[in-house]
Amino acid sequence: MSSSIEQTLNQKLEKIFQRLKLDTKFAFVKNSDRPDLSDFQCNGALALAKPLHKNPREIAGNIAALLEQDTDIAAVSVDGPGFINISLDNGFIARIAGSLAGDERFGCKKVEKPHKIVMDFGGPNVAKALHVGHLRSAVIGESIRRIETFVGNTVISDVHFGDWGTPMGMIIAEIIRQDGSLDKVETYDVGAISAFYKQANARCKEDEAAKETARQITADLQNGNPEYRKAWKYLRDVSVADVKKIYAELGAHFDLWLGESDAHAACGEVIELAKDKGVSEVDDGATIIRLPETNKPMPPVILVKSDGGVGYQVTDIATIKMRVNDLKAEEIIYVVDKRQTLHFEQVFQVVQMLGIAPDVKLSHIGFGTVNGADGKPFKTRDGGVMNLADLINLSKEKVRQSMPKPGEVEGYGEPEIEKLVSEIAFGAIKFQDLKNNIGSGYVFELDDFAKFDGKTGPYIQYAIARINSILRKAQAQNLTEGDVIIENADERNLALKLMQFENVVFRAHEEKEPSIIADYAYTLAQNFSNFYNTCPIMTADEVQISASRLKLARLVRDVLKQLLYLLGIEAPEVMLKA
Ligand code: ARG
């Protein structure tokens, strides 16, 4: 039996509804709104009352009377206007918990109709170092990628490199300005390239003519100038190699390393299509599409700029065309800063007007900013944008300070300590991010973010390590797992909590909200802690009780590990404290 508790209860209710000739559409339970009164509730009687012209309490009473005869159910009551409150029998809870322990998906089903999703996250740009703003896209995107894969969908992740916009022309112009030509381009490393970008950026802010040159070079590059293309390819390759390293460290997985530039051919098709459909017009030398205003002003989409270049919007529209035609995407999800909401609204509208992605679900998951203590986007001390690599180093240093030095603990030399530092630091960074609703910003916290108590990643990693240690001790004493027995409230609560796994995963999947998983992991770890305080494992009075608790402990460990995996967080076997 690996079906979830809800499914099992729903089946029981369905049979009863059929016997009573009630519409089985309403034969389902949800977690109780009053956990003090019951474990689950069914509100079906309320929905049925109106069409049947009956008193909901009467319908509920009939259902309850039959449900009461089921030995899996400890108590049923009809409360309020007709809620059916259901409490489960401990033996039943024990059986279900036992079945979860024997199931590698912990009772979690898969989606009924798996489909293909293209996920667009990461979004790095050539020559620009990843900054703190890129953290959320990678962390949230990776978590949603793992959740969607776990529920059975096929996910193709694409980093969508920013490699076709004006910054490219700016860097090339700057190199030509300083070197007199592009001859030396291929001697520059990432650091040198981003220094050129910084200088170009400063220059273009002040100097209209420099900006114009950069714009023209960008257009020429896009239209095939061989010299620019050659330099561009080098700049892009160096940036990709650099960015791959940091994403590997972050544990963000990309199936495709395509960029805006890969959509160039499709851009032409989009522009043609818009002309054929008669939705574009020429305005001041540019080709644009006007969009109907909704409740807010909708600026037009610029298909071709007056200098002949294509911009960020067209590359995105063309990329959708490719993802639908070539990759056969049935859904496309963007995990991109909330400040780009208007951009995606425009892009999706044009896609609809042009009929590029019929029946394809397009969604933009917009995240809030990572802020400093002042509530404004996180900055370095001198007011610049915080580099992602610097932020990671700061976090690691903080964690390193709370750890033993290499050699202080047997078996932990420098590589072992550094591996742990990295796992804990990323656990802390990612959990701090993912415990918040995606849409809201949060303050990046470096003081308590890696504490082993409180709602942190390391708290959960620590809970896992603690259970690992219990399991090692049990093994040393030849204690083996046995059938689950539920005798007291903490065992009962823990087992009931474990049964929510499927529900939690599916809510996180439906709402595209990893914080639901983060919350659950935290409460499950807390429940375990309560359980462990009152329910000794090795020293229980009877060996059957020890064996049952050992099985529960192992199950909690496995579920927590799975939850951390879904958040993109590692679970070290052992945690060390200074
Ligand atoms: N490179 C962009 C930026 O840094 C993000 C790209 C997001 N993805 C997309 N398909 N527009 O703002």
Which residue, 317, 350, 355, 353, is CA-closest to 334?
317
Structural domains of the chain in order of their starting residue, each with its CATH number: 5-88 (3.30.1360.70), 111-367 (3.40.50.620), 391-567 (1.10.730.10)
In the three-class reduction of DSSP (H, G, I as helix; E, B as strand; rest coil), residue 335 is classed as: strand
For residue 2, what pLDDT band results from cuts at 50, 70 and 90? very low
Interval between CA 283 and ligand 1 midpoint (Å): 26
Is the model's pLDDT at 4 over the cut of 90?
A: no
Q: In 10 A of CB 405, how many CB atoms?
A: 11
Q: What is the mean pLDDT of residues 244-267?
A: 96
Which atom of ligand 1 is closest in space to residue 316's alpha carbon? 10
| Residue to substitute in 137, 336, 339, 345 for testing ligand 1 pocket (most ligand atoms within 8 angstroms of CB) | 336
Query: In this predicted model, which residue has the larger pLDDT, 297 or 24?
Result: 24
Q: Give nearest CA residue, ligand 1 atom 11.
A: 316
Interval between CA 202 and ligand 1 midpoint (Å): 22
Q: How far apart are CA 533 and CA 531, in angstroms?
A: 5
Q: Which contacts of 67-73 are long-range, i.e. CB under 8 A and separated by 24 or more positions?
A: 67/12, 67/13, 67/16, 70/12, 72/12, 73/12
Indicate the pTM of the whole model.
Answer: 0.94
Q: What is the mean pLDDT of residues 93-103?
A: 94
Residue 442 backbone dihedrals phi, psi, to 5 degrees:
-150, 160
Which atom of ligand 1 is closest in space to residue 124's alpha carbon? 1
Q: Where are the beta strands (DSSP E) in 368-499?
A: 370-371, 442-443
Q: Residue 3's pLDDT is what?
A: 56
Which atom of ligand 1 is closest in space to residue 128's alpha carbon? 4
26-40: pLDDT as tens digits: 999 998 998 888 999
Which residue, 493, 490, 494, 422, is CA-closest to 458?
422
Mean pLDDT of the chain: 94
| Residue to substitute in 201, 339, 340, 369 for testing ligand 1 pocket (most ligand atoms within 8 angstroms of CB) | 340
Return the bridge partners of 361, or none. 331
Interval between CA 481 and ligand 1 midpoint (Å): 50
Q: Residue 7's pLDDT is what?
A: 85
Is the model's pLDDT at 539 over the cut of 80?
A: yes
Tokens coding 140: 């949230």
Q: Poorest-confidence range of 100-104, 380-384, 504-508?
A: 380-384
- The three state secondary structure string of 4-64 is CHHHHHHHHHHHHHHHCCCCHHHCCCEECCCCCCCCEEECHHHHHHHHHCCCHHHHHHHHH
Q: Give nearest CA residue, ligand 1 atom 5.
A: 123
Q: Give nearest CA residue, ligand 1 atom 6.
A: 123
Q: Where does ligand 1 bind, in terms of residues with CB under 6 Å?
A: 120, 123, 125, 160, 162, 316, 334, 336
Which atom of ligand 1 is closest in space to residue 344's alpha carbon? 11
Dihedral of the CA atoms 383, 366, 396, 410 (nearest 10)? 170
113-166: pLDDT as tens digits: 999 999 999 999 998 888 888 999 999 999 999 999 999 999 999 999 999 999
Q: Residue 381's pLDDT is what?
A: 76
406-449: pLDDT as tens digits: 999 999 999 999 999 999 999 999 999 999 999 999 998 888 88
- Give the residue ranges of DSSP H helices in 440-514: 457-476, 489-498, 501-511
Q: What share of the chain is helix, strand, coil (3-state, %, to 5)?
A: 55, 10, 35
Sign of the alpha-carbon torsion through 343, 348, 349, 355: positive
Is the model's pLDDT at 55 over the cut of 90?
A: yes
- 383: alpha, beta or left? (left if phi > 0; alpha if psi -120 to 50): left
Interval between CA 455 and ligand 1 midpoint (Å): 31
270-310: pLDDT as tens digits: 999 999 999 999 999 999 999 998 888 899 999 999 988 88
Checking DSSP bridges between strand 331-337 and strand 361-367, what pairing results, if any? parallel
Q: Give nearest CA residue, ligand 1 atom 7.
A: 123
365-410: pLDDT as tens digits: 999 999 988 888 888 777 777 889 999 999 999 999 999 999 999 9
On whether the CB atoms of residues 82 and 26 are closer than 8 A, the answer is no
For residue 1, what pLDDT band results from cuts at 50, 70 and 90? very low
Query: In this predicted model, which residue has the larger pLDDT, 465 or 380?
Result: 465
Q: Give nearest CA residue, ligand 1 atom 3.
A: 123
